[in-house]
Structure 1
Amino acid sequence: MHDTIANQLEQDGYAVLEEFLRPAECDELFAAGLELTKKLPDSINIFSTTDPDNQQLKDQYFLNSNDKISYFYEKDAIGADGNLKVDPSISLNKVGHALHLLQPIFRCYTYSDRVKAVCRQIGFSEPAVVQSMYIYKNPGVGGEVVEHQDITFLHTEPIPPIGFWIALEDATIQNGCLWVARGSHKSGVHRRLLRDSENREKLSYDRPAAVYPQSSFTPVPVSKGTCILIHGNVVHKSAPNRSSKSRHAYTFHVIEKRNNTFSPDNWLQEGENAPFVNLYTTNQME
């Protein structure tokens, strides 16, 4: 199994682990995700990967979310008056970025033995979880996630981060499953989001977005409970959800700490309340 996962990541840039979670475990995380929608803040922060001005990148709320449970809304869920035009329960794009630290159910699954086993199988000697997100992809309003590499936002070298993307419901072409450009992880780092050296609260990209041929993407529909491991350099995306079914997922990113550098220019930084602790020595319920 070690060779299978490691080889798949090296060859394709992603690996599909079926039945990573049992249906009842998915249901527990799904219920926790719905519970989050009942505690919405008064302020509305939109998350969008298609808005060229993407004010969220400049927003203190986003920058300070490394050690908090923060809420990001879908652009299509907000009316022209700035108020919600859909039910609050389907208004969110995602919640992040410290669920793995602050919410007991998410912490339990993030620091589980099966996650530790996968990290060992891909050869990580001192893995650390640096961020986590609950992604809703709700019917009708679930927005597009444009082509990107995760290393654009979480730059590490020489060993790239690995994303764990866990489907809590069936992810289909109709409801916005992931699409991956197989093998694209071998083409280097295409773009970076950097903190300004003088104004640390300002973020900007170091170059324009790359243009990728759409024919290079392969859909990766998966069943509930499947985990997709995502190499930090592989280019991937997801389409908007125009179906009548949601596509909830829980995702988190793991970095190798030993002999590896986490860029001080990344938007996300280790903090007193969000330490990058060794996953192997962290208890699920600490």
Structure 2
Amino acid sequence: MLSLLGSYPWQGSSDYFLTSGDKIRFFFEKGVLDKKGNFLIPKEKSISKIGHALHAYDPVFKQITHSSKVQELGRKLGLERPVVVQSMYIFKQPGIGGEVTPHQDATFLHTEPLGRILGFWIALEDATQENGCLWFIPGSHTNGITRRMVRAPSGASTCVEFVGSEPAYDDSQFIPLPIKKGGLILIHGEVVHKSELNSSEFSRHAFTFHVMEAKGTTWSKENWLQPTPELPFPSLYT
């Protein structure tokens, strides 16, 4: 079990996670397996997400990621050399869809300079306060970051570790952003956001991918996710 910042409940080995950047792999919610590895609830209701290269290898999600609408939006935003770094299908299962604690995407996808990561979050079902919609702190993208997740040294007991400190966020600062099926939320890499546990009887499916403006940008070699010879970060505009 990997529990990164308490936000992303991945089931599986460290290697399975670290080598998933150029593959399509499956990750399960926390607490769905017993000590022997048997499912406590139906397998199809246990999955948390699929990632992290749907944009490259799945025809449906490749078409969505590189669609004319997305490319047009990228150009309107002034992105000159955007590349796709990762993609995920998130299930947020009814009753068990895990909480995602307050975080900034740049903590996990670090660039120099900052401000070069942009998340595209597409609601595949209605996202409500009851089933775990996103919450944001307005204006928090202007404060930089104080914490980073980096690959741990060889021989460490975990595959990643955190450097720096995480601020204490005031819950009263967050505002919910419910959205209808088919809607798009653009997420600045430094904006603080979260989602609550889905305690409702309705799932909250979403497809999300992250884009980096590659022009004048350095991708940190300490990031858990790295381009590979098999899958260099593809251009959004191809």
TM-score normalised by the chain length of structure 1 = 0.77
Once the two structures are TM-superposed, the CA of residue 82 in structure 1 deviates from its matched residue by 2.7
Number of residue-to-residue matches in the alignment: 235
Out of 105, 117, 127, the position equivalent to 1:161 is 117
1:143 aligned residue: 98
Q: Deviations over 1:194-215 (max 9, x none)?
A: 1246669832100243210111
Q: Does 2:68 correspond to 1:113?
A: yes
Equivalent position SS for 1:192? strand
Supply the AA of the counterpart residue of 2:145. V
Once the two structures are TM-superposed, the CA of residue 48 in structure 1 deviates from its matched residue by 4.3
Q: Does 2:77 correspond to 1:122?
A: yes
Supply the AA of the counterpart residue of 2:130. Q
Question: CA–CA distance in 1 between the matches of 2:62 and 2:174?
Answer: 32
2:227 aligned residue: 270
Q: In 2 relative to 1, CA 82–51 (structure 1 residues): closer, same or farther, beyond 3 Å?
A: farther
State the percentage of identical aligned residues: 49
Confirm or deny: 8 A CA contact 1:48 1:74 kept in the other structure: no
Q: Does 2:40 correspond to 1:82?
A: no
Question: CA–CA distance in 2 between the matches of 1:49 and 1:243?
Answer: 24
1:191 aligned residue: 147
1:27 aligned residue: none
Once the two structures are TM-superposed, the CA of residue 116 in structure 1 deviates from its matched residue by 0.7
Confirm or deny: 8 A CA contact 1:76 1:143 kept in the other structure: no
Q: In 2 relative to 1, CA 246–147 (structure 1 residues): closer, same or farther, beyond 3 Å?
A: same
Confirm or deny: 8 A CA contact 1:49 1:144 kept in the other structure: no
Once the two structures are TM-superposed, the CA of residue 161 in structure 1 deviates from its matched residue by 0.3
Question: CA–CA distance in 1 between the matches of 2:162 and 2:67?
Answer: 35
Q: Deviations over 1:111-163 (max 9, x none)?
A: 11111111112111000001000000010110000110000010112232000
Q: Does 2:203 correspond to 1:227?
A: no
Question: CA–CA distance in 1 between the matches of 2:86 and 2:198?
Answer: 24
TM-score normalised by the chain length of structure 2 = 0.92
Confirm or deny: 8 A CA contact 1:74 1:142 kept in the other structure: yes
Equivalent position SS for 2:122? strand
Equivalent position SS for 1:66? coil
Q: Deviations over 1:4-27 (max 9, x none)?
A: xxxxxxxxxxxxxxxxxxxxxxxx
Out of 184, 201, 204, the position equivalent to 1:247 is 204
- The CA RMSD over aligned residues, in Å, is 2.1
Equivalent position SS for 2:20? helix
Give the unaligned 5+ runs of structure 2.
none
Supply the AA of the counterpart residue of 1:64. T
Confirm or deny: 8 A CA contact 2:49 2:91 kept in the other structure: yes
